[in-house]
Amino acid sequence: MPELTPNTSFPSRRTRTARPTGPKRVPWPVFILIAAILFAAVTVIYPSFQYAGRPPGSRPQLVYQGEAHRFPVVVEKGEAYVPLSFIHDKLDPHVHWDESGVMAVTTRDQVVKLKTESLTAYVNQHPVDLQFPVILEGREPYVPASTLETLYPVSTRYSQEYGIFLVRPLDIPKTTGETRTETILRTKASPLARRVAVLPAGEQVVVYGDAARWLKVETSSGLCGFVPKRDVSDLREKPPVAEQPSEYVPAPLKGEKVVLAWEHVHKITPDPSTLGEMPGLNVVSPTWFHLADTPGEIENRADMRYVNWAHSRGYQVWALFSNSFDPERTSVVLRDSGLRDKVISQLLIYADIYKLDGINVDFENVHLADGPYLTQFVRELSPLLHNQGLTVSIDITVKSSSPNWSMFLERDKLAQVVDYVMLMAYDQYPHGSKVAGPVSTIPWTEWTIQKTLEEVPKEKLVLGVPFYTRLWKETVENGKTTVTPTALGMAGTGQWLQEENVTPEYQADTGLLYAEKKAGNHTYKIWIEDASSMKKRVQLVNQYELAGVAAWRRGFETPDIWEVICETLGS
């Protein structure tokens, strides 16, 4: 120690060198100690697996396409069951749950029906044994995993260790890889995010997203989260295991425009020997089948002589099936799975007996609430008719605000499952109209095509054209005008013009010839359908590249009409 002398002095407190005023530095040993304590605390609070916070004994978490979903999973006797709501939301928006407790799944070529608590399913109306039934929990149907894999292109895995039920689609491509080193799977793309698990080197993963330096992945056990991109190698794109189903294409008319005429059959089919030549025609649709009074029964007016005549001329026969335009009768059948099956079975039998080539569905005057059930009926009908080699078409009305005559039609969904959609572009001014007007102006017809193409693809849309018009009689009495319509075919129109010595004039706004005649307090008005109007309608088919023409109805036309259709279509 240095010796202190009287001259030795210490700087006063005021004169000492000032120290920095910033925060005090923590010595490295202390920092390491604090970090170790925090890590131990986090490890205790958040163990290596905290996937979705699943407490022991809780229901398995459903994982689909790299995401954990809130759909509950039921496990009974070792079999996992998924709720119908998951199937509807993620796999099949068209899966149908019937009020009678039947689940219906429709594909391109199959209709599968499963009843709750039953070990018998029906595939295309043929019984098939099941290992596990569909069950109900509350009001929610649950489907066993083994059945799910049969119905849809998916694979499933139930991991008891992690409490995960994994569903993987097989019909889409996927990117796969494997961890190059041990890495931590985290809930978010951040090194500070909560840990899900520690993945060993060589862990196979499916990649569902790319976030800067992170990859969103899913393991074979269903664990999903984010890992550093640098920790994953051997990334490769793998094609789908299951092929996407191809759309049904009706072979007999492939590449050929439809030229159809509806044959109105009130009670007895017309004698085919009395029918003349119809050049260019390739399909006839007799109105033969109708819903009967007895639920599930079909009224049959078919005639084999007519089929033989049509086939001898090279025409296909697409028999029309209507709901008799009775909304109550229709509702009873559509809402009952068993009655729908019964109707479909009869149509299949009749199609076989009469050697039909197709069925044309014509359901009109249907309750708005029954619209989805009509869609389901057509979804169940189409695969079975297709399997029997038949073409399926459906008639639709023009869009309007009428619930029973327009709004009930789910045009977009119907177009997905049928081969052709017939747009009945007529009755702009229907029989019950309070004012006189044309059956269908040319501008209005074009508008109906444009509106329908918003929901129906052009290659399936067939333009319905009128072979008829209406002669309107306006009567003025006591200052009040009433109208009375009379339907006329083309020949009848010409006869009236000749008898009344009336010369029609062209109306630019309607695109039609128009004539009227006054007689006392009556005024007769008529908008004329003839070769010139038909040519304009068929030109719209060409302009919008539609699938063809359908005419209501045979017998109302003049002979020259067929030549006009044929020449304008270029067929």
The range of the structural domain enclosing residue 112 comes to 58-167
Cis bond upstream, residue 553 (ω within 30): yes
User: Two tokens at 406?
Assistant: 């327009």
Q: Are 205 and 217 in contact (CB under 8 A)?
A: yes
**Judgement on whether residues 399 and 290 belong to the same structural domain of the protein:** yes
pLDDT for 472: 98
**Judgement on whether residues 216 and 306 belong to the same structural domain of the protein:** no
Q: What is the CATH number of the domain that holds 277?
A: 3.20.20.80
Does the residue 190 lie in any domain? yes
**Judgement on whether residues 114 and 198 belong to the same structural domain of the protein:** no
pLDDT for 10: 31
Does the residue 552 lie in any domain? yes
Among the candidates 195, 211, 238, a domain finishes at 238
**Judgement on whether residues 438 and 558 belong to the same structural domain of the protein:** yes
User: What pLDDT tens digit does each residue of the chain (571 aa) get?
Assistant: 333 333 333 333 333 344 444 455 556 555 555 555 554 444 434 433 444 445 656 899 999 999 999 999 999 988 999 999 999 999 999 999 998 899 999 998 999 999 999 999 999 999 999 999 999 998 999 999 999 999 999 999 999 999 999 999 999 999 999 999 999 999 999 999 999 999 999 999 999 999 889 999 999 999 999 999 999 999 999 999 987 666 666 655 677 899 999 999 999 999 999 999 999 999 999 999 999 999 999 999 999 999 999 999 999 999 999 999 999 999 999 999 999 999 999 999 999 999 999 999 999 999 999 999 999 999 999 999 999 999 999 999 999 999 999 999 999 999 999 999 999 999 999 999 999 999 999 999 999 999 999 999 999 999 999 999 999 999 999 989 999 999 999 999 999 999 999 999 999 999 999 999 999 999 999 999 999 999 999 999 999 999 999 999 999 999 999 999 999 998 6
Q: Are 108 and 102 in contact (CB under 8 A)?
A: no
User: Two tokens at 316?
Assistant: 């296909």
**Judgement on whether residues 309 and 440 belong to the same structural domain of the protein:** yes
**Judgement on whether residues 177 and 161 belong to the same structural domain of the protein:** no
**Judgement on whether residues 188 and 310 belong to the same structural domain of the protein:** no
pLDDT for 30: 57
pLDDT for 99: 81
**Judgement on whether residues 322 and 256 belong to the same structural domain of the protein:** yes
Does the residue 35 lie in any domain? no
Q: What is the CATH number of the domain that holds 208?
A: 2.30.30.40
pLDDT for 255: 77
**Judgement on whether residues 274 and 142 belong to the same structural domain of the protein:** no
Does the residue 177 lie in any domain? yes
Model-level pTM?
0.87
pLDDT for 247: 63
Does the residue 148 lie in any domain? yes
DSSP 49: -
pLDDT for 5: 35
Q: How far apart are CA 395 and CA 410, in angstroms?
A: 12
Interior/surface letters 407-428, b for 16+ CB within 10 angstroms, e for the rest: ebbbbebbbbbbbbbbbbbbbb
**Judgement on whether residues 158 and 192 belong to the same structural domain of the protein:** no
Among the candidates 238, 267, 287, a domain finishes at 238
pLDDT for 38: 52
**Judgement on whether residues 179 and 266 belong to the same structural domain of the protein:** no
**Judgement on whether residues 300 and 351 belong to the same structural domain of the protein:** yes
Does the residue 50 lie in any domain? no
Among the candidates 145, 167, 189, a domain finishes at 167
Does the residue 213 lie in any domain? yes
pLDDT for 55: 60
pLDDT for 57: 63
Nearest to 282, CA basis, from 560, 551, 466? 551
Does the residue 126 lie in any domain? yes
In the chain, how many domains are there? Answer: 3
As beta bridge partners, residue 80 has 75
